[in-house]
A and B are shown apart, each in its own frame.
Chain A
Amino acid sequence: MRKHLKRRTFLRGALGGGIASIALPALDAMMNLEQTAFADGSSQPRRYVSWFRGNGFMLDRFEPIGVGPDWQLNDHMQPLAGVKDYLNVVTGTTNRAKDQITHHEGMTVFSGYSFADKGQGQGFFSNAGGPTLDAVISQLLAGQTPIAGVHLGASKAQSPADEGTTMHHLSHRDHLQPNPATTNPSAAWEALFGSFAQPKDDRELRLHILDSVKGEVSTLQSKLGAEDNVRLEAHLDSIAALEAKLSAAVPVCDLPADPMFTNSESINTEQLTLVNELMSDLICYAFNCDLTRVATMLFLEGAAEPTLSEIMGSSDSWHQYSHNVQSWAPGAAFDNGQIYMMERFGYLLTKMRDTVEFDGTNLLDNSMVLMSSDASDGSVHSIRRHPMLVAGHGGGHLKYPGVHYQPEALSGNYSYGSHPGPTSGNTSDVLLAILQGFDPEASWVGEQLNDQGDGAGSGTPLAEILA
């Protein structure tokens, strides 16, 4: 009998549930046959990744020990020991989002924009106020790769209480322009590589169809108002995105096989470790083949309520644990989960380090990977001392070996379940530092400051992490 109320089932899991992992073959002999030299003189392009895991950190177990060039990994960063030299860690700085709902304001750390449209009579509602850094970079790199950016996720769980675009997406091209994450590895593969795996001698025809359709788009543009014209512009961008793919030559690199895994398990039984590996592998292939230079990974959205059964001792929801500091004891579920999250992030970094580029460098040499969350101390939804970890040498743009930048040490009075302090600076300084790796002329990121001088934007790149 059809399940009429379960309407979304037909959209996911079109492929059977066989589990497979992508065996990454040795990535030798490939790419960039034109031997282009990039602006910085390197032969490989710079890439950017945003990586998100919801509900914050345990600061005293996360913030590195020592500052400057001589710093040590704290307990929760131990999974990154193998790539420590590639890490620049920024702690103690302030996320300057102008307003708060709980969780929503934390997302500003990836954009420098405060959220918009608060409440709307709908409770925990907001929309992202502006573009996230990944989208700004995609815009800068427009036309240089067939795909502007790839947006991936691991868990399908969404916060049951939060509404609007802010919390459910990591990437936004602008207000009401989210880039939804794909949580289905097979679909992600199809979007990245599928078109190269099929015969496409009809490309020219299909390009003509796309061109032909534009006439109707402009007729609509003339009939509709400003808001719908923004959406029609996005529609034209989407046509351009397909045109770029159809016009792209088949990349001269190893194309991965379809992982044949759709991540269709019910929430609470998702195989997030496997999904993360498959998605990380796809990012590495896509970067290595230069199909795109921008990726985002929404591992688990903030305030989502899944029980992460792959975390030792976990029987309650991750969000619940974040608000229950009894689970923050060493060896308890939230503590274990912090390590679990960093292991997942570490998988991507290690895979990037092990992916060799045409010129003998590796992906991590040429990338900047920003990891953060929607809070510093998630139990109180704090955005004071909001940690940001930037992995990768960034094609020579960032310090290597990396440093720990921390304006002031965590107060000895801090305890779980309180707002951490002291805090100063501006997390968006990190965003501008990264952005300048793609646009040396960039002088501002995020929103403009208001008359009172409040706002989350920045015009001062964090020099301490720049090479």
Chain B
Amino acid sequence: MNFRTPFLSSAVRCLSALALAVVAPGCKGGGGDDDGMADGDSTAGTEGTGDESAESGGDDFTPPPGGMRRLLDYQYINTVGYMFGPEAAAVAIPPADQSLFGYTSIGNSLISPGLDLVETYESSALRIADAAIANPNTLAGIVPCVKDSPDEACYTTVAQTLGHLAWRRPLTDDEVQAVVEIALEAQAWGAGDFNAGLKYELVRILLSPDFIYVVETGEQDPNEPEEYWLTGPEVVTRLSLLLIGRGPSLTLLKSAEAGNYDSVESVETLARAMLNDARAPEAVSEFFAEYLALEEIPAKNPASFPLYSEALVDSMVEETELLLRDVIWTQDTDFRDFIESDYTFVDARLAELYGLPAPANDWDQVMLPADQARAGFLSHASVLARNSHYDGNSTTRRGLYIQQRFLCYAIPPPPPDVNPNLPEPPDDTPMTLRELMETVHLEVDSCAVCHAHMDPLGFTLENYDALGAWRTQEPNGLPIDPVTEYGDFGQIGSATDLAANVAMDPRLGQCIVNNMIRFGRGSLENPTKESAELQELYASFETANYRFQELLIAFVTSELFLQVGEPK
């Protein structure tokens, strides 16, 4: 398969290290370790047999700095659920993540925490510990002694076993002792109650920076001193967090510590197993939640939009979620179908909004209405309503969204001498929004410099009101004209045309790749220092016919994912 291109180049890198008889981290051969288990930590692969033309080092690739990043909110909650059960997950409330460059994974890697960080984690840990003790079965599955033999020795077992799982590394003897000391002190404080000791022991483990922060420092490549290969445990951690949304199981960690995930093949095998895990779709949706940013749909004026309700907004978001899951998981097909599909999913509320017959079930897959020029996500009510105002459309925001999120075109800040004050439109002349924007945004050169990239794309979506319903005229009775021209797109006659142009634009695939990288490793892609690797990943997405699961595989088996630079 064509997406193996980056995989082969990684294998080459590994072979070059082996040729020097220095086993580079991440390049060690993996013995088949048969610890197959539910969450995808199945088997390690064998040594790659790549091209023999070993590279002698000195490439242009410099990975982003290594270092630490804080667990994202959902990763924290899912990991708590894995360790302590759903009752504990339900009361786990980590500090809010902060976004930078559009992603909390970057924010959690670069922004210093607020001063209330530890307090929030402590409140959460206290609640989690109470819930874990009240519902001990999940914990007992990991550390049976908490039910079978709740004694002092069990505190040591908890520190060693649960600590290893939570901190994603074995604890030193001193660290075990420090944790057990807390347990014993709490047990004494609790008049000898084992569970009093256990509660504060769990809090102690959860409050450690080794649980809260993921550390990715890797080990230096002997031939490429600016490249550090993530260690096996670091790789499986990064992979688990990305693909199943939580930290790795203890079995997987131990297998990685034994060297079973040091080859690219073993990483691919593991990644494929994880994509088959039931948790993968939800984890991948966490990416799209930030990428599409649909949680920001503002309320509408009920006088103008009587169909508006928060329940309708929930339905809008669910429609987009269902189409995403259909394209990525059910069909496992070309991701561009998300942009230009001729079908969608509706419930009764959306059917009413779209003027479709009510579905027979809660949600039904339906063909888009033929007379509304809709196609794919760009004409979903979710994105249309998100990029509209309280009482009307915004051609600017709709255009900006497409440019930023699907074409990775950043609108530059206005020139210093720009006058951002809206020119006064002619009096007494009823205008459409488009005519108004053509007057105020596109006729004035200093405005048009930027707005020419936004408003014209929005014009093609003027057939959909601020809630996403079809319309052929504005509230003032003037007819909508969606036909416009934009750059290489040429003439665009409708939303369907727009979707086709966006879907066929080569920047779309690259933009999705860039965003995936940002989310998946918590750093911006670097077109200068990672040029060849980025081009390879773009190419492999294309040659995999834009199947998103294959993009994930190509990404996690590339140096873009498996390497870091010196710790920042």
Contacts and interface: CB of A to CB of B under 8 A. Distances in A.
B18 interface: no
Contact of B67 (A118, A225, A305, A417): A225
A133 to B, nearest CB: 17
A396 to B, nearest CB: 30
A241 B118 contact: yes
B115 interface: yes
Given A122-B410, A164-B100, A242-B119, A7 B112 contact: no
Contact of A180 (B98, B208, B289, B296): B98
A316 B420 contact: no
A316 B178 contact: no
B207 A213 contact: yes
A250 interface: no
Nearest to B213: A220
Interface string A130-166: 0000000000000000001101000001101101110
B178 to A, nearest CB: 5
Nearest to A127: B100
A219 to B, nearest CB: 8
B67 A4 contact: no
Contacts of A265: 299
Interface in B221-245: none
Contact of A6 (B98, B111, B289): B289
Q: How large is the interface on A (under 10, 10 to 19, 20 to 34, 35 or more residues)?
A: 35 or more
A377 B356 CA distance: 48
B38 interface: no
B76 to A, nearest CB: 11
B114 A213 contact: no
B404 to A, nearest CB: 7
B208 A267 contact: no
Interface in A178-208: 178-180, 191, 202, 204-206, 208
B82 to A, nearest CB: 17
Given A6-B314, A209-B203, A267-B296, A178 B420 contact: no
Contacts of B531: none
A369 to B, nearest CB: 21
Given A11-B73, A220-B213, A241-B119, A307 B178 contact: no
A121 B392 CA distance: 30
A430 to B, nearest CB: 25
B300 interface: yes
A78 B313 CA distance: 40
A216 B204 contact: no
B407 interface: no
Contacts of A101: 413
A119 to B, nearest CB: 7
A324 B422 contact: yes
B144 to A, nearest CB: 25
Nearest to A309: B390
A213 B119 contact: no
B111 A176 contact: yes
A381 B113 CA distance: 31
A6 B185 contact: no
B321 A5 contact: yes
Interface in B300-352: 300-301, 310, 313-314, 317-318, 320-321
A303 to B, nearest CB: 11
Contact of A7 (B208, B289, B298): B289
Contacts of A416: 421
A237 interface: yes
Interface string B392-415: 100001001000100000111110
B113 A267 contact: no
A148 B390 CA distance: 38
B209 interface: yes
Contacts of B294: 5-6
Contacts of A208: 182, 185
A228 interface: yes
Interface in A74-122: 100-102, 118-122
B96 A209 contact: no
Contacts of A209: 182, 200, 203-204, 207
Nearest to B178: A212
A315 interface: yes
Instruction: Give the residue among A10, A173, A233 with the most B Cβ atoms within 10 A.
Output: A10
Nearest to A99: B416
B102 interface: yes
A390 B400 CA distance: 38
Given A228-B568, A239-B118, A217 B286 contact: no
Contacts of B295: 5-9
Contact of A216 (B119, B208, B392): B208
A316 B400 contact: no
A58 B297 CA distance: 30
B486 interface: no
Contact of A267 (B116, B118, B299, B424): B299
B215 A205 contact: no
B88 to A, nearest CB: 14
Given A11-B73, A209-B200, A242 B413 contact: no
A392 interface: no
A36 interface: no
B111 A165 contact: yes
B452 interface: no
A409 B101 CA distance: 42
B390 A307 contact: yes
A325 B182 contact: no
B260 interface: no
A269 B113 CA distance: 30
B289 A124 contact: no
A327 to B, nearest CB: 10
B116 A205 contact: no
A317 interface: yes
A173 B122 contact: no
Interface in B361-405: 362-363, 389-392, 397, 400, 404
A388 B100 CA distance: 30
A129 to B, nearest CB: 15
B354 interface: no
B175 A216 contact: yes
Nearest to A190: B123
Contacts of B178: 212, 215
Interface string B281-300: 01001101100101111111
Contact of B321 (A4, A216, A417): A4
Nearest to B400: A161
A7 to B, nearest CB: 4
Interface string B115-147: 111110010000000000000000000000000
B449 interface: no
A121 B122 contact: no
A344 to B, nearest CB: 20
A417 B210 contact: no
Interface in B17-33: none
Interface in B59-109: 65, 67-68, 73-74, 77, 93, 96, 98, 100-102
A265 B568 CA distance: 40
A242 B568 contact: no
Contacts of A237: 115
A163 B102 contact: yes
Contacts of B282: 4
Instruction: Give the residue among B118, B292, B410, B568 with the most A Cβ atoms within 10 A.
Output: B118
A158 B424 CA distance: 27
Contact of A266 (B119, B185, B299, B392): B299
13 contacts: A7-B74, A120-B101, A158-B296, A176-B110, A206-B203, A212-B179, A220-B213, A225-B65, A225-B568, A235-B117, A238-B114, A307-B298, A315-B390
The 3 closest A-B pairs by CB, nearest first: A307-B390, A417-B421, A234-B112
Given A180-B96, A225-B567, A227-B67, 14 more contacts: A1-B318, A3-B314, A7-B286, A10-B77, A121-B410, A177-B111, A178-B111, A206-B122, A220-B209, A227-B110, A232-B209, A238-B116, A238-B117, A309-B390
